[in-house]
Each structure stands twice: as C-alpha cells, then as structure tokens.
Structure 1
Amino acid sequence: MIAFDNSYARLPAGFFTRTAPTPVADPQLVALNRPLAERLGLDPDWLAGPEGLAMLSGNSLPDGSAPIAQAYAGHQFGGFVPQLGDGRAVLLGEVVAPDGGRFDIQLKGAGLTPFSRRGDGRAWLGPVLREYLVSEFMAAAGIPTTRALAAITTGERVIRETVLPGAILTRVAASHIRIGTFEFFAVRGDVERLRLLTDHVIARHYPQADGALGLLQAVVAAQAATIAGWMGLGFVHGVMNTDNMSLSGETIDYGPCAFIDAFDPRAVFSSIDTGGRYAWIEQPNIAVWNLAQLASCLVPLMGADQDQAVEQATRAVHAFPAIYEAEWLKRFGAKLGIAAPTATDGALAERLLTLMAASRADFTRTFAGLSDGTARAEFADPAAFDPWHADWQARIATETDPQALMAAANPRRIPRNHQIEAVIRTARDDDDFAPFHRLDAALHEPLQDRPEWDEYALAPTADQIVRRTFCGT
C-alpha cells in the first residue's frame, strides 16, 4: 500500500546501518493525520487499519521499505561528539508525493539501534504527544517543519525517572539529513562520502545550487527564514545542537522546546540548558555558529585553493545576519500590519518588544491584541504602552489593509507549555486522549478567532506556569 523509493538507503556503506524496528506488544492508534496522509499519497483508511497499524508500530514492514538508522555526529552545547546517530529512530523509507515532493517516513521510539549508546531506543508518551502537537502547529503557522503522521501507544512501559507508557511517533520530513551528518564524515576525513552526501542533498533539496558553496549559501538562506519564523512565534527550540539542524531548513527534534508566555528575550526552558546557550534571543547567533561548522565540512569540496575556499565559505556564513534581518523584518512587519517594512519599522517593532519585556507582557496575546484593541491590557503599566501605540497607529494609517496582514501573522493560539503538560498528564494518568485531540484541533487553525477555543488563548495563571521542559530520553 506504500510505494517506497529509498534514495538515501541506496547510498554506500557508512551512511547508515540497516536496522529493523523492534516489535511492540499491543499497538493502539492515538492519532492519525489524515490530511497529511492524503498529501503524501497514502490511504488513511489503510493506515488506520490492521496492516497500517502494524507498520506504524514497527511490527510489520511493508514491501519496499528499507529500514535504516542514520549515522551522524554533532556539537552538543558546543562540545563535539564524533558519533551520535539515530539511537531511537528507524527510517522506514521515502515516498514521493503526488506533487513530486520526496519525504522520509520515520518511526521515532522504534527500539534499539547500533547508535543507541546507553539508551533503550524507546519513547514515552509525553514527548510523542508534545512533538505531534507542536510540529503540526508549526506547519499550520507556516514554519518549515517536520510533520507528525501518527502517534501510537505500544502497550509497553519505559523507564525514565519513573515507569511510563511507551509510544511511537511517525515523523515525516523532507529529509533527516543534519549538519551533524556532514560532521560525521568530515571528522573522519572521508572526503569521498562528503562529496556523495553533498550531491545527494543538492539533488534532493537545492537542485539550483552550484556545488558545495552553492549548497552552503542555500542552507544559510533556508535557516535564516526558519529561525526568523521561530522568533516571530516566541518559539524556543531548546537544543540547537548541530545534530538538530536540518539541511532542508525544517525545524526538527521538538524535545525540550517551548513557547514564551510572559515575554523575556532570554527565556530558556530546557532543563539541560543551564547556561542559556539556546535562549530565544540567542537562536540567530547559534544558527551562525552551527552554519560555520557546516562550512568547515564543505571547504574541502570547494576547490584546490583551500585559502580561497575558506574565504568563500566565510562570506557565505557571514551573509546570514543580513538575510535573517530581512526575514525578521518581514515577519515582524506583518505582525504590526506593515506590508513593506523599512528599518524604521524594525525599530518600531524593537521598541514594542522592549516594552513587553519590561512589563512581562504575554508575547502571543500582545501581538494578537493589536488587532482588537486588547493589547494594552497585557502591560503591567498600560500607560507605558500608550506612546508606542500612538506612533504605531500613525504608521499603519498609511497601510492599505493592516488588519488582514496582522490576522495572517498573529496566531490566537499557540501550544502553551501548561496546556501541553495538562493533556500529557491526562493521557498518561487516565488514558484519556480527548483533551489532546481537542487541543490538536484548536492548534490546526491557530489564526481563527473561534469562541469555542477561547480557553486555549489564555495565558497561564501563576500556578500553571511551566518553567522547565525535558527531552524525554
């Protein structure tokens, strides 16, 4: 029922290990993303049936699949680890959608692989539900991202701090190739495999790119646009390691991610980011650092004159700030209702962010409230907001349709940390997935002002605030 075409699995030895998922005891379907299945050219009814469930759980491999665990390295919080790889994920294969797009289908939490290190290869229910909700919200908000095709429970238990219900996420991605994939071969001095990987990524993602330098320039531009999108939503990835940075420009690996409630530009939620390396405000800077690691990997492929290659690669990475600033201005200009923002408009947006930080105003509600006049109420000192508001009103008076721009750029609902934790807790403790499905439905239409979902637009009360998030491994 699935026509696999597995280009990555046709690469030579060293890129992966052939690894089958480990069967589970009692798979039960929690969620199936029917619109995504149809976009991929898959039959959602088949996926929801016995054969599909067997595939989604790893209990049966359909014809044409070529299950593998991918090899990669990575800088984790700045420290280099020469071998990481898929320690709890198995890539079943690739499908070519009716529109011609090529996508990986991966089972996350599918059991031990040769890269599992000291892990158990499994996932527990909480991170699976979190990634399903957040990745699908990001897609609905127009941010490049991996997608969630399905979530299942396994009927088994996994041990973390305590005994927890096991689960598997079926993740869809344009590819799972990371900066760390390039680092894996670069640290080994394997220029031939670096060349094969570069050719593969160009053919798959950037056919217009001219060689390794063109690939680097394309990835720089893609990441600048994606991270500007994160910033416009108040999204904090939490673990921007090089093994969590996709060559396709998609957001990948929603471990300890979170969205800012009361605005703090230095917001950090990840329990393991004790130094604030991956704070909201640092994400563009970390992107440059990560892209510099990619550039170092690609320099050997940029011609015989290595000094010239280093200079070209450096220029490509140094182009990030200007590209990012243009993308940021476009994002925040739209959030203010400005169609063609200038640097002056960027300063206007920065003034608002400064006021929000001083007052701990809710990020999402403030921007959404610009449309309906409720933003002022988000400030502890509303009078401090008034001069900015007067300047903003004068600016948008010259715009043709600022309300339409703001309506398309400012979500009413985001996956708030306390709401995600609440649905995870209910699913874990009561085996009740109704709150999960209700929140998922609300997040699939984040821009719509729907009264029946007003509860999801509320900021957390003092006792609901979630200050720490965890990766689940």
Structure 2
Amino acid sequence: MTSSAATSTLFTLENTFARDLEGMFVPFVGEHAPDPRVLVVNTDLAEELGLDPEALHTAEAAQILSGSTPPPGATTIAMAYSGHQFGGYQPLLGDGRALLLGELVDAEGARRDLHLKGSGRTRFARGGDGRAAIGPMLREYLISEAMHALGIPTTRALAVTATGQTIMRDAPEPGAVLARVASSHIRVGSFEFALRQGDPLQPLADYAIARHHPDLVGADDRYLRFFEAVVDKQAALVAQWMAVGFIHGVLNTDNTTISGETIDYGPCAFMDAYDPATVFSSIDVQGRYAYTNQPPVIGWNLARFAESLIPLVAAQISADPDEPDTDAAIAALTGVLGTFLDRHDAHLARHFAAKIGLAEPDSALIDDLQTVMREHRPDFTGTFRALAEELRGNSRPLDDLIPRDAIAPWLDRWHAALPEAEEATAAAMDRVNPIYIPRNHLVDIALRAATEGDLEKFEMLLGVITRPFDADPALGAYAQPAPDDFGEGFQTFCGT
C-alpha cells in the first residue's frame, strides 16, 4: 500500500483506510478543547513508533492529541460500522466519540492506527456527548498496558490528554482524550456494515487481507482462508484472556477485531475470587459476557463475521463466476467456524498446562483443579503462584487460599505428573503466572486519586503491573486480592 503522507513536527501520518474505503467513514475533526494538557505519555510505545516522547508533552502535541487540531494535511475520519450489541443488531454504530488521525509506520515497517477516544461528538454519537472522563481513559491505559506486559495482543495507549473541560457523568468529572494505537480498528462490525452497504464489502476484505495477511493477497481462496486466520487469532486471544482471569465485559461484534487484538476497554476487569460466572459490568445484567461465556460469545460473533463473507466466498468457490454458489460458501464457512471451540480449547489447555508446570495438557488434572477452585473460590491469580511455592516447600500461601484436606488428593496426583526438577518447574510456572495484575481495588484507588489531580498512585500501579512476573517483597500489597468489603457488589462501567 502506498499513500501520500501528512507530516507535522510530531507525526508522519498516512490514511490508507480513508484512501481505499469510500463509504466506510465520514470525514470529521475533533471538537475544541479549551485547555489541553498531556498528562501521561507511553515512552516505550512512542519510541517503538519512532516518535520523540519529550515532544509529546508539548503544547503542540496537546492540541493534536486532544483532537483540537488535526495534524497538518491529515485526513481525520470517524469510522462507520454496525454491530450486534448484547445480541441485538444495530445497523449503524461507528465512532461516536472517536477519530482516526491516520496511520504510523513503526520501526519494523508495520502500519499502526493512531486513534483518539473522547475527542467530541461525531455524526455516529447517537445522543452521547462525545466526551470522555479522565478515569475511564486512564483505566484503558492501565489495563491495556497490563495486557501488553502479559503478552496478550492488545491495542495500546500512547497518551492521555486532559481537555480542560468538565463533563457530566454521575458527577462532574475532568475531561480527557485517549490516544490509542492498534494494528487496525477493523472489526466484525465493520464487515456487517459493509455487507449491508454492498459496494464496500470486497474492498474492505481485500484491504484487511493486505494489511493483516499479505500472504493471502491474490489467492483464489483468500476470503475463506482469511476467515480461518481470524478464527484462529480470536481463539488464541480468548484463551489468553481465560488463562489470566480477564473479563472484557462488552463483547459485542463491534468490539471484536479482525487483527486478534483486545480492543475497547470499558467495563473490563480481572477476576479475584475464582468463579466462572463472574460479571463486573453494570450493563451486563444477564451475564451474557461472564468469564465462562467469553469463548462461546466470540464464536457467536465469528458466525456473524462468516455471514458477512458469504457473498465473497460464494463468488470464489463457484465454478461459474456468474453464478455464486451460496450453499457451498455457507458449508465451507460453517466448517471453519465449527473448529473455533476446538482451537480455543487446545490453546487454553496449553496455557493451563504451563500454569501448573506440565509440558503437555492433562485435561483431567486441569479440570479437577478448577472444580476445587470453584468450590472454594480462592484468588485466581494467587492460586497458581501458591502452587509454585508449594513446590519450593512453602505450603502457607496455598493453605491461605484452599483448605489442605480439599486439595490434598489433587496435589498428590499433580506431584506424580510433574517433572522431578521441582525448583526448575516452579521457576517455569512463575514465568507464565503473573503475581501482579490490575487489582480492581487498586485501580479504583488510583483512578479516584487521578480524578482529583494526583497521578502518583496511577504511575506507581502502572510501574508494578507492567512487570507482572517480577516478584518484589516491597510490593506485597499489590499482589493481594481486594478486601471482602470491596469485592462484594463491585461493578465496572463503560464511562460513556
């Protein structure tokens, strides 16, 4: 792909999405921020993108990163998409409070979107104010950086910029804009929208293939193989979520990416006490997106993606280009879709095997551990660290989580299945089992302080969770689950 680049003293941006995909966006610019000020910058990410971190703290950067001033010559757009939200189809969603500033090319030649969230109402806002509060934007920064540190594919936060405005949520809150980086913002909902528009469907598919799977460009069966690649990426992604106890909260089709990256951190959270039915989101009253439901829900979303691709696969699979074979296309796509849960289960089994120190999955051993955990509700993250300590001869951490008589029979079977080098096994377990995650109560404390203008707790928490596997005795409080009086009834919110 080539396109002309828009250059400022800060960014060199292209916008191949706007160039190639007419009908999939509307031109838009951000609303004026009265007093923009960059609060936090992701130094590592900035350097990865070839940007000067110091320059991102300047007044010029604040104007651009708040959405007040487009980069010179840039084509800024609000992307259009549809979506199934809690199972109900919405024909027109789109970026209601977000802008795609353009695309950066990183040090390895990869194209990365630079996207603003909270930069004002677009034509897709559907009654929203288009703004964002500082707490939810810093929350997305924290959680996405924690996910990156855990090795989980994710969008990442480049910066959070205060706007100088007060916005109304449950109470007045300071406004802010998140600058987010992604390998793209193409979603299942993008294809649902393109299907119903008609003309953009094939250009969107060819664009997504060229951007994410260039090895498929020009292949006679590229649309079916593209679908299979997305199915496997999503199967792998959700397995990683499940392995760390992450609950996304709003797994609508417009929040399911083609790239296989985690996107749109709204009412997300990490599970403390193990309970497969855990839900944190205040709007998920039926538990549709509970921890245990995430794999089948993503499978459901991928079925909607498959439906969007039927015309393209039908045209390719037919012997007569003038007579698309819809039945054959449905059969082929359904066959691939039918492998999703098996792919997910295989990925997840490997993760859980590594979490308990096994070289190969042992489904009975893993299932039986989860049964014990479900009965006694220990801290999910702490349990796997405690098992490593058990191998080192330190039984207290596990005894503090699960009664010894309840887990002793399982421990006997586990020891029999492990390699003899228990110290090496414990070290290997520590390399895949985090000790620090964004604990809900600590995130809450940090964001409340930041809303009052104190970023110290946010910065401290960020420093801890971006080194999730490195135990430090001085940071013991960051490894502890929430107090009982916090965890009961704790809810998360979208922030809109």
1-structure distance, mates of 2:460, 2:39: 13
1-structure distance, mates of 2:367, 2:478: 27
From 197, 201, 222, the equivalent of 2:204 is 197
| Matching of residue 412 in structure 1 with residue 435 in structure 2 | yes
**Partner in structure 1 of residue 28 of structure 2:** 19
Deviation, structure 1 residue 162: 1.9
**Partner in structure 2 of residue 381 of structure 1:** 403
1-structure distance, mates of 2:148, 2:61: 24
**Partner in structure 2 of residue 461 of structure 1:** 483
From 320, 323, 326, the equivalent of 1:306 is 326
**Partner in structure 2 of residue 360 of structure 1:** 377
Write out aligned runs for 1:443-458 (5 A). 443-458=465-480
| Matching of residue 130 in structure 1 with residue 116 in structure 2 | no
Write out aligned runs for 1:130-149 (5 A). 130-149=139-158
Deviation, structure 1 residue 60: 2.2
1-structure distance, mates of 2:367, 2:139: 31
| Matching of residue 432 in structure 1 with residue 454 in structure 2 | yes
Write out aligned runs for 1:156-167 (5 A). 156-167=165-176
Write out aligned runs for 1:266-281 (5 A). 266-281=277-292
TM-score w.r.t. the length of structure 2 is: 0.92
| Matching of residue 471 in structure 1 with residue 491 in structure 2 | no
| Matching of residue 40 in structure 1 with residue 69 in structure 2 | no
Task: Say if 1:378 and 1:363 are closer, same or farther in 2 by CA, change over 3 A.
Answer: farther
From 84, 97, 107, the equivalent of 2:106 is 97
Deviation, structure 1 residue 398: 4.8
Deviates more, 1:451-460 or 1:379-388: 379-388
Task: Say if 1:241 and 1:472 are closer, same or farther in 2 by CA, change over 3 A.
Answer: same
Write out aligned runs for 1:40-439 (5 A). 40-188=49-197, 190=198, 192-209=199-216, 210=219, 211-302=222-313, 303=315, 304-339=324-359, 341-342=360-361, 345-373=362-390, 374-398=396-420, 401-428=424-451, 430-439=452-461
Deviation, structure 1 residue 256: 0.5
TM-score w.r.t. the length of structure 1 is: 0.96
2-structure distance, mates of 1:378, 1:229: 26
Deviation, structure 1 residue 140: 0.3
Deviation, structure 1 residue 380: 4.5
Deviation, structure 1 residue 58: 1.7
2-structure distance, mates of 1:450, 1:439: 13
Q: Moved runs in structure 1, 4+ residues, more than 6 A?
A: none
| 1:7-63: CA deviation from partner (whole Å, max 9, x where unpaired) | 101124311011011121112222100000000111111111222222111222223
From 446, 453, 464, the equivalent of 1:442 is 464
| 1:57-116: CA deviation from partner (whole Å, max 9, x where unpaired) | 122222342210000000000000000000011110001111011100011000011101
- Secondary structure at the counterpart of residue 161 of structure 2: strand
Instruction: Name stretches of at least 5 consecutive residues in structure 1 with no aligned partner.
Output: none
- Secondary structure at the counterpart of residue 427 of structure 1: helix
Do the aligned partners of 2:188 and 2:253 also contact (CA within 8 Å) in 1? yes
Deviates more, 1:243-252 or 1:205-214: 205-214
